[in-house]
Amino acid sequence: MAGDKGQRRMTQCKMMTEKLNVYYGKRHALKDVDIRIRSHAVTALIGPSGCGKSTFLKTLNRMNDLVGNVRIEGQVYLDGEDIYSTRMDVTRLRKRVGMVFQQPNPFPMTIYDNIAYGPRIHGIKGKEQLDGIVERSLRQAAIWEEVREGLYKSALGLSGGQKQRLCIARALAVEPEVLLMDEPTSALDPVSTLKVEELMTAFKQKYTIVIVTHNMQQAARISDDTVFFLEGELVESDTTARLFSHPADRRTRAYINGRFG
Amino acid sequence: MMRKWKDDVLLCLIYLAAFFTEFLLIGILGYVFVKGFPQVSLSFLTNVTSVLQGTAGIAGNFVNTLYMVVMTLAVAVPFGIGAAIYLNEYARPGRVVRLIEFTTETLAGIPSILFGLFGMVFFGTTLGLGYSILTGALTLALMVLPLITKNTQEALKAVPEAYRSGAFGMGAGKWYMIRTILLPAAMPGIVTGILLSVGRILGESAALLFTAGSGYFLPRSFGGWFRKLSESGGTLTVQLYLSMSKAQYSVAFGIAAVLLCMVLGINFLVRMLAKKWDAV
């Protein structure tokens, strides 16, 4: 494993895994994965389909708990706290570590209620407070101007790109610390993709972002760190600039040069 | 050339089949309405049959029918929806779920007179409820339970998995997710199941004859409206059967016309709701 690049990465580590192993039934989906995710940075997870990058992403907010027949070994830390310990409250964990999915999945309700969904779970009921959260979140996701006239219309009437930005706004509404994004632009058109990418780079100020992507250019464009997975193993993890210019592992080199995957 | 000729014959047969089906429905509706409507008058709808007063009316049966519908649904809806939620959201897919689903489907295919037999012996005799609207409603609840469970389950299955993971990803608990996302999204299917159940309740006679009996009086006092639950009460369909067995055909057709109107109304309601929900 190349590039344990010194103190800077250690000190600002937001999430960390140690000897993380995930099994789906008999299938060994993740093998001894050790990762440090820097705070206020964009970390891209790349690798061919089925390499375990989405599985890894889902262990970070325990979405794998929902899958039957899954076994998880090892530790995942959020600010030094083991999120798989019995003391961890999953609701609170998912408030701190939000998620945006590959397919935009707004709920079948109004735009307003979509955004207010998270805050309501966490006990925010006041109309004025919710109004404020809805506007702030929609502005952050750069969709406020497009929907401000129709906050009480069904979210299902939006375009694909708008839906995804709505889902991002929904995730931001609970003010998470970490935002997990599972191929958030793979279902979007090029213009919408650029909008979402622009958002991600802006979000670094406030959030730590982990994104799974199939798109090598996207990883190179928007991420600070890149992690390369292959067949459940972490092959290489480094700053994006270094990983793309001087990959240490020949498998990484082969992949980013487009020779497989 | 041969092929074209064959096609034409087939087309003819299909048109004939469609026409026959349509004609059958219109024929029956028309016959019942023509024979029944002359009988339906304000006094027929608002009076109770009484030999002393010389009146013939179905007000009592109408009230009994309303009681039966409300009481049956009050029991069957919570159980049916609860069972569907359990099967679809909580139970791990496997032998138990398959067994319950098989049981539900079998239950749906049992002739209603068997439900009547069981209801009479179990609710009526063993639990001591006698011939009463309550006995009838409990019996019918067993009968429509599979209908509600099945429809709710299908509706829950049709809710995209992405809604569930979306809600969980926000930190929603399971029950919170079910309450705020699943049930609203599945509502059209649930309501369809309930309306189909209302149709079955309206149309049932065999299961009620020996459970709810054939009472046709209206309560005379305020308390009577509550006591009614423990009293015998025949629904419109039961009364229709009884009138026919006494060869009172005009009364029977009058009731039939009223019943048909109610069933048509429910079908319209189902369609309207389906359309409204599709538009969302």
Q: Among candidates B123, B127, B145, B143, which has minimal Cα distance to B135?
A: B123
Chain B residues in contact with A167 by the CB 8 A cut-off are 166
Q: Hey, is the C-beta of A153 within 8 angstroms of any chain B C-beta?
A: no
pLDDT at B268: 87
Chains A–B, number of C-beta pairs less than 8 Å apart: 64
Q: Distance between CA B159 and CA B183 in Å, rounded? A: 9
Q: Which of B162, B172, B185 sits opposite A105 (nearest CB)?
A: B162
Q: Write the pLDDT tens digit of every residue in B99-136.
A: 988 998 898 889 999 999 999 999 999 998 889 999 99
Q: Among candidates A191, A243, A182, A170, which has minimal Cα distance to A214?
A: A182
CB-CB under 8 Å, A117 with B170 = yes
Q: Under the phi-then-psi rule, with left for phi > 0, alpha for psi from -120 to 50, and beta for the rest, what region is A25?
A: left
Residue of A121, A177, A179 to mutate for B, most B C-beta atoms under 10 A: A121
Residue of A61, A62, A99 to mutate for B, most B C-beta atoms under 10 A: A99
Q: Hey, is the C-beta of A60 within 8 angstroms of any chain B C-beta?
A: no
Pairing mode, strands A178-182 and A208-212:
parallel
Distance, C-alpha B172 to centroid of its chain: 35
- Count CA atoms within 13 Å of residue B109 on its CB side: 6
pLDDT at A4: 46
Q: Distance between CA A153 and CA A159 in Å, rounded? A: 13
CB-CB under 8 Å, B185 with A118 = no
**B252 within 8 A of B81, measured Cβ to Cβ:** no
Chain B residues in contact with A118 by the CB 8 A cut-off are 170-171
Whether residue B266 is predicted with pLDDT greater than 80 in this model: the reply is yes
Higher pLDDT, B70 or B94: B70
Q: Write the pLDDT tens digit of every residue in A94-103.
A: 999 999 999 9
| Smallest CA–CA distance from B161 into chain A, residue | A105
Mean pLDDT of B141-151: 93
What H or E segment, with its residue span, contains residue B148? helix B133-158
| Smallest CA–CA distance from A119 into chain B, residue | B170
Place of tokens 């995804």: A164
Whether residue A2 is predicted with pLDDT greater than 50 in this model: the reply is no
What H or E segment, with its residue span, contains residue B105? helix B95-109
What H or E segment, with its residue span, contains residue A140? helix A127-140
Give the start-to-end residue ranges of the domains of chain B: 2-38, 41-279
Q: Hey, is the C-beta of A118 within 8 angstroms of any chain B C-beta?
A: yes
The tokens for A85 are 């310990």
Going by pLDDT thresholds of 50, 70 and 90, the confidence category of residue A9 is very low
Q: How far apart are the first and last CA of chain B?
A: 49
CB-CB under 8 Å, B185 with A108 = yes
Chain A residues in contact with B171 by the CB 8 A cut-off are 90-95, 118, 121-122, 174
Mean per-residue pLDDT over chain A, rounded: 89
Q: Distance between CA B276 and CA B270 in Å, rounded? A: 10
Whether residue A87 is predicted with pLDDT greater than 90 in this model: the reply is no
CB-CB under 8 Å, A107 with B166 = yes
**A174 within 8 A of A123, measured Cβ to Cβ:** no
Distance, C-alpha A139 to centroid of its chain: 20
The DSSP annotation for A207-252 comes to -EEEEE-S-HHHHHHH-SEEEEEETTEEEEEEEHHHHHHS-SSHHH
Q: Write the pLDDT tens digit of every residue in A193-235.
A: 998 899 888 888 889 999 999 888 899 999 999 999 999 999 9
Going by pLDDT thresholds of 50, 70 and 90, the confidence category of residue A46 is very high
Q: Among candidates B74, B69, B110, B68, which has minimal Cα distance to B198?
A: B69
Q: Distance between CA B125 and CA A53 in Å, rounded? A: 64
CB-CB under 8 Å, A170 with B170 = yes
What H or E segment, with its residue span, contains residue A56? helix A53-59
Mean pLDDT of B141-159: 93
Which residues in B have their CB inside 8 Å of a CB on A? 92, 160, 162-173, 176, 180-181, 184-185, 280
**B131 within 8 A of B212, measured Cβ to Cβ:** yes
pLDDT at B280: 53
pLDDT at A260: 64
Q: Distance between CA B98 and CA B104 in Å, rounded? A: 10
Q: Write the pLDDT tens digit of every residue in A127-176.
A: 999 999 999 999 999 899 999 999 999 999 999 899 999 999 999 999 99
Going by pLDDT thresholds of 50, 70 and 90, the confidence category of residue B59 is confident
Q: A98 CA to chain B: closest CA distance, Å? A: 7
Higher pLDDT, B204 or B225: B204
The tokens for B269 are 């309601």
Going by pLDDT thresholds of 50, 70 and 90, the confidence category of residue B39 is confident
The tokens for A222 are 């928007």
Weakest mean pLDDT among B69-73, B91-95, B134-138: B91-95
What H or E segment, with its residue span, contains residue A227? strand A225-230
Q: How far apart are the first and last CA of chain A?
A: 20
String of b and e for B44-57 (b: at least 16 CB within 10 Å)? beebbbeeeeeebb
Percentages helix, strand, coil for chain B (3-state, rounded to 5) are: 80, 0, 20
pLDDT at B108: 86
Going by pLDDT thresholds of 50, 70 and 90, the confidence category of residue B278 is low
Whether residue A114 is predicted with pLDDT greater than 90 in this model: the reply is yes
Q: Distance between CA B233 and CA B225 in Å, rounded? A: 12
Residues across chain B: 280
Handedness of CA A236, A238, A242, A244 (dihedral sign): positive
Q: Under the phi-then-psi rule, with left for phi > 0, alpha for psi from -120 to 50, and beta for the rest, what region is B126?
A: alpha
Q: Which of B173, B180, B185 sits opposite A91 (nearest CB)?
A: B173
Q: Among candidates A148, A191, A189, which has minimal Cα distance to A166?
A: A148
Mean per-residue pLDDT over chain B, rounded: 89
Q: Distance between CA B159 and CA B178 in Å, rounded? A: 11
**A241 within 8 A of A41, measured Cβ to Cβ:** no
CATH of B41-279, one of 3.90.1170.50, 3.40.50.450, 1.10.3720.10, 3.40.605.10: 1.10.3720.10
**A43 within 8 A of A179, measured Cβ to Cβ:** no
Q: Hey, is the C-beta of A11 within 8 angstroms of any chain B C-beta?
A: no
